[in-house]
Amino acid sequence: MNKFAENLQGKLNNLLNHTLLQGLTLEGWRFNLHTTNLLEVGLKNNKLGGPYTAPSLKTETAGEIYLLWSGHRFTIAQIDRNVLEEFEINLELWQKTAYEDQWGAGLVEPYEPPLIPLAQEEAVTIVNGEFDWAFSLLEEGRRGLVDCDCRKVDGGVRIIYDQQLTANSAGLWIAYDQTPVEFYLQGDDLFSDYFAEKRLPTKEEHSRLINYTGETTKQLKKPTPFSTRSEMFVIFPPKVFEAFLEHFLLSNLSGNLIANRQSAFNIEDFTEKKQIFRTDFTVRVDGTRPYRYNSFRCTKEGVPSSQVELIQAGRLNTPLLDLKYARKLDLEPTPIPVGGGRGLLVSVPGIKTLEEVIQELDDGLIIYSLLGLHTQDYSSGKFSLKADQCLLVKNGEIRGKVEALIVGNFLEGLKADDSIFARATQEENPAFCMKVHVS
Amino acid sequence: MKEKIRVDSLDRVIQVVEEAAKERGLAYILRLQDKKETVVKVNNGKTESIATSFLKGLGVQVFTPSGYTGFASTDVVEPGSAERSVKLAGKLAQKVQEEKGEYNRAIFNIPPTHERSIIRLNHPYDSMSLDEIEKKLKKLNSELVQIDPRLSVRTVFVVVDEEWRITRHDGTDCSFTTPRSFLYNIFTAKEDGKTTTTYSNLPGSDLSLLCEPEPERKIKKRSMIAANLALELLTAGPIKSGSYKMVIDYSLAKGLAHEAFGHAAETDGMESSILGENGRMCLGKKVAAESVSIIDGPIEGDYAYQPISANGIKRETVYIVKDGILTAGLADLFSAEGAGVPLTGAGRIESCHHLPLARMSNIRIQTKNVIPVEQEFEDLTPAGLYRILLSAGLVKDNEEIIYLVGFQGGQVNPAFGHFVFNCSGIYRLGPDPLLYQPAIFAGNILSALKSIRAGIGGLKIDVMGTCGKMAQAVPSSGGSHYFLVLDHNPEITIGGETNE
C-alpha cells in the first residue's frame, strides 16, 4: 500500500499551490487509506458454512481524501484503489464538489505517533490462508453450547488484517497495521455474547464465552410468572449498558450536534464544566492500550490517540471534537472513540460486584436483550423498549425468564442517586442498574 | 439498440471467472457492482459537507458439485483478481466439505436467466450541477430553520447511481440498475433543558426530488408537520402503558408489515420462524382479518426497487397474506425448497462483498372496503381524523382511542414472534386531541394482524427505510392506506409509564 500512497502523495504535492482549470488553488491535502483482508466464517443452525454463512475472503482498499482549496473551500471524497488510474477524472469531480465552509478543518502537524501494538502475527497468518483456526474455534463453540443443552447454535468469526495510513501535505505520515478479531456465539435464538479485540481470543476467553453463553441461555429457558406493573430496578449487563451509552451518550457528546444545538447538552455545559451526572461517574476515551478493540494510533484526520476524560466526576469536560468542530468551538480536538459504546470507558470508584448487587436486589430484572433501542430519540434520553429476554430477580435470587416493556430516561438514570454501577467479571465497563417503569 | 451501462464493459472478467470455475469443476454466481453516490449535508443554513463515493467490485460465490460453498470478493475488477477470487472461494468451499459443513445444491436446479432492467430516469445522477444541488438544499434548510427559533435543522440529501450484473455458470447474465435518492430533514427542538428530535423525509429514484415542484411541495408539508411535532413534544407528557384501540398512519403500517410479517416470512429463517413448522412455512394458516392482504414486490421508481435478485433470478411480486391467509414466503434460491414455497427471487445484498439473504423490497398492507378520504394525507389533522372515525362508525363518542404518528424504525425476533416499532408521537383522539410522548408498539406476529379492522384513505407506499439483517443494510420501503384502525388487543401493548 505504501507505494500506492506515495504515488498519490506525489500527484497531490505536484498540484499544491497551483490554480487549476476551475479557478481553485490547492492549499493542502489529507488522505487516509486502508487495505483490508477479511476472513469470515459462520455457523448457522449448528452447521458450518452454507449459503448464508459461507466462509468468505474479502479484499478492499478504500479511504477518504480531503482537499483544502483557496477561499475556504473544501472537498471530501471517498477514494478507492482506482484513484490513481482515474486521477484526472477524480480531480475534476473534486473541484466540482468543493464547498465553502468558514470553519473547515486545517491539517494536523507531523508528530511521532504512540507506538501501540495493534496487529497480531498469528491473526495475519490465518487471514493469509491458514483458515483451520477459524473453523476449529466455531466447532469448539458449537460443541460447548450443545453440551449446555443448546439445540440451535449460531455463531461467527471475523478476522481482519487492516493496513492503515494517514498522511497530509504538512508532512504527517502515519502507517500502521491492526488485526481486529470478532467472535460471537448464540444459543437457541435466546442469548448471544461476543469477543472483540485486536488479537485472537485466548483459550480462557474462548471457554468463558462458551460457558457464559451456555449458562445464560439455560437460565433463559425457564419461564416464570410475571405480572408487575410498577417502577422497579433493572440491570443492564455491560454489553447492554454499552448499547445505551452508544445510543444516548455518544450521540449527545458529539461536537457537531452540540455546536448545532442538536444535542441534549449545550456548549456552555462543557465550558462551565457543569455537574450533570453523579459525582462518581467518569467517562473517558482511551485508544492507547495494546491490542484492544477500541485502540488506534490516530483518527482519520491524524489526531493522535490518547486518553481523554469526556465526563469527569459527573462534570462535562469536553465534547468529542474533530478538527472542524474543535476550531469552531475553540477547544482542543479529541480522539474519536472506536467501537461505538465500547469506545466509552466508564469508571465508578468502589463499586460492588454484579453478583453482590443481584443478591441485594429485592425485586428487579436483568435485561439481556432489547428490541427497538435504535428507534429511540437520542436527544431526549427517553426510552420505551421491549425487553424480550430478561431474568426476574426476587429477594436476591434469579427466578426465571420473563418479558417486559421498560420505560425510562437513560440520561436521568445516570444522574440518579439510587442508580447502581456493578463490576462484572472480565468486562471492561460496569453493569448498570436503574429504576424504570416496567409493565 | 440497447442502452449501454457501465457493467456492460466487464465481459472479459466474466469470461475469466467462467474459465477458472470450469477448470476447477465449480459452479458459481458472480456479482459485479458499480455504484456512485453523492451525499450533501446542510446544517442550520450552512453546508456541512458534500461527499462523493464510488464502489466497484466483484463477489464470486462458488459451489462444489456436492453443493459446498465459499465466497471471495475484491475491489479489483480485472481478470487476474477475478481468477484469484475463484481460486480462494474454491479453497474455502473445499474446507467446508472437509469439515462436513452445510451443503445446498439448489444452484444446480434452476434454469438460466437473461434479464435486463435499466430504469430511465427524468433527472439522472449527473443531470444537475452540485452548485445547484447545494443551493436548493440550503434554501430548503434555511426556510425550515425559520419555522421557529427553538428549532435547529439538519438536511441530508443522498443520490445513488448503482448498476449490477449477475452471471452464473449456467449462462445466466442479468443486468439491472437500482437508482435511488432521498431527502431527509432532522428537527431538534430545545427549550428549558428539554430536547426532542423528529424527522421528515421523501424518497425517490433520482434528482427529481430537487427539481420538480411536486416533491418540493410534499417535503415542505411533511417538514412543517415534523417541526411542529418536535415543538409540541417539548411539553407532552407520557402515555400510560397498556393496550389500546388505536389508529396508525401509513408509515407505521409499513412498520407493522415489515416487522410483524415481512421478516418472519423470509424463508432463510424458516427453521426458527414462528411462521414455520419443522422448517416448512405454514401456508394456509389464518393470520389476519379476512379483509387484510400483505404484498411485497419491486415497484419501478421506488426507493427500494430491485427487479432481479442477487442470485440472478427475477423478483416476483407476492401476496404473503391474501384475504387473511398466509399464502407465500419471501423465498430466495437457497431456502425456497426447504421452506416448501415457490422461489420468488427475494435474495438481496448490501454490496458485492456480501452474501445474499432473503429480504423484502416494497411491502404494503391493503384492506378491503376502504373508507375513502378526499383530502391529502398531510392535510388531515388528528381532529380531522377523529371526525372521520366518528362518521364511519369506527369509534363511539367518548370511546378511548389513540393515534400513533411517524415511523421511527422497528425490530423483530421472528423466532419468538416478538416485534416492536416506534412512533414520533401519540395523540389521544377526541374533539381536542392531546399529544403524548412517543412509546414503543410491541406486538405478537401471530395475533397483531388479526386486530386490523379498517383501512382509511388511498394507498401511500413511499415510506422509506434501511433494513438491517445479519449486518447487511439494504433500502426498504412500503406503506398502506392513509390509516389503519386496530381493535383493542391484549397482545399489542404501548410501552408507556405505569402511571400517567
pLDDT digits (tens, 9 = 90+) for B103-146: 999 999 999 999 999 999 999 999 999 999 999 999 999 999 99
Is the domain of B222 the same as that of B251?
no
Query: In the 3-class helix/strand/coil scheme, how is chain B assigned residue by residue?
Result: CCCCCHHHHHHHHHHHHHHHHHHCCCEEEEEEEEEEEEEEEEECCEEEEEEEEEEEEEEEEEECCCCCEEEEEECCCCHHHHHHHHHHHHHHHHHHHHCCCECCCHHHHCCCCCCEECCCCCCCCCCCCHHHHHHHHHHHHHHHHCCCCCEEEEEEEEEEEEEEEEEECCCCEEEEECCEEEEEEEEEEEECCEEEEEEEEEEECCCHHHHCHHHHHHHHHHHHHHHHHHHHHCCCECCECECCCEEEEHHHHHHHHHHHHHHHHEHHHCCCCCCEECCEECCCCECCCCCEEEEECCCCCCCCCCCECCCCCECCCEEEEECCEECCCECCCCCHHHHCCCCCCCEECCCCCCCCEECCCEEEEEECCCECCCCCHHHCCHHHHHHHHHHCCCCCCCCCCEEEEEEEEEEEECCCCEEEEEEEEEEECCCCCEEECCCEEEEEHHHHHHHEEEEEEEEEEEEEEEEEECCEEEEEEEEEEEEEEECCCCCCEEECECCC
CB contact under 8 A, A60 and B442: no
* One-character DSSP codes across B472-491: EEEEEEEEEEEEEEE---TT
pLDDT digits (tens, 9 = 90+) for B299-312: 999 999 999 999 99
CATH code at position B82: 3.30.2290.10
Under the banding of pLDDT at 50, 70 and 90, the label for residue B440 is very high
The total number of structural domains that make up chain B: 2
Under the banding of pLDDT at 50, 70 and 90, the label for residue A370 is very high
Q: Which of B76, B129, B498 sits opposite A81 (nearest CB)?
A: B76
Is the domain of B171 the same as that of B287?
no
Is the domain of B89 the same as that of B223?
yes
- Average the pLDDT over B214-234 and give the result: 97
Contact A372/B at CB under 8 A: yes
- Give the percent of chain A with pLDDT over 90: 95
Q: Is residue B27 part of a domain?
A: yes
pLDDT of A72? 95
Q: Is residue B1 part of a domain?
A: no
Ordered alpha helix ranges (H), A69-163: 87-96, 121-127, 132-147
- Average the pLDDT over B45-68 and give the result: 96
Q: Determine the structural domain holding residue B396 and report its residue range.
A: 246-495
Reported ipTM:
0.94
pLDDT digits (tens, 9 = 90+) for B246-278: 999 999 999 999 988 899 999 999 999 999 999
Is the domain of B116 the same as that of B207?
yes
Second CATH level (architecture) for the domain A121-162+177-219? 2-Layer Sandwich (3.30)
End position of a domain, from candidates B171, B198, B233: B233
φ, ψ at A271 (rounded to 5°): -65, -30
Is the domain of B289 the same as that of B431?
yes
Which residues in B lie closer than 8 A to residue A45 (C-beta atoms)?
102, 271-272
Q: Which of A93, A369, A405 sits opposite B442 (nearest CB)?
A: A405
pLDDT of B499? 66
pLDDT of B500? 52
Is the domain of B257 the same as that of B216?
no
Shortest alpha-carbon distance between residue A12 and chain B (Å):
18
Q: Is residue B239 part of a domain?
A: no
- Average the pLDDT over A289-307 and give the result: 96
Under the banding of pLDDT at 50, 70 and 90, the label for residue B1 is low
Domain range list for chain A: 2-100, 121-162+177-219, 230-241+349-438, 245-347
Under the banding of pLDDT at 50, 70 and 90, the label for residue B471 is very high
CB contact under 8 A, B52 and A231: no
With a cut of 90, say whether residue A425 has pLDDT above it: no
With a cut of 80, say whether residue A228 has pLDDT above it: no
pLDDT of B38? 97
Which residues in A lie closer than 8 A to residue B102 (C-beta atoms)?
44-45, 47-51
pLDDT digits (tens, 9 = 90+) for A262-296: 999 999 999 999 999 999 999 999 999 999 999 99
pLDDT digits (tens, 9 = 90+) for B362-404: 999 999 999 999 999 999 999 999 999 999 999 999 999 999 9
End position of a domain, from candidates B233, B263, B296: B233
Q: Could you say which residues from 425 to 484 on chain B have a Cβ atom under 8 Å away from some Cβ of chain A?
A: 437-440, 442, 470
- Average the pLDDT over A375-394 and give the result: 96
Give the residue on A whose Cα is nearest the Cα of B86: A57
Q: What is the pTM of this model?
A: 0.95
Under the banding of pLDDT at 50, 70 and 90, the label for residue B9 is very high
Q: Is residue B240 part of a domain?
A: no
With a cut of 60, say whether residue B79 has pLDDT above it: yes
Is the domain of B97 the same as that of B12?
yes
Cα–Cα distance, A377 to B195 (Å, whole number)? 9
Cα–Cα distance, B213 to B231 (Å, whole number)? 27
- Give the percent of chain B with pLDDT over 90: 95
- Average the pLDDT over A345-353 and give the result: 96
pLDDT digits (tens, 9 = 90+) for A190-203: 999 999 999 999 99
pLDDT of A212? 96
Q: Is residue B241 part of a domain?
A: no
End position of a domain, from candidates B203, B233, B263: B233
With a cut of 80, say whether residue B2 has pLDDT above it: no
pLDDT of A229? 76
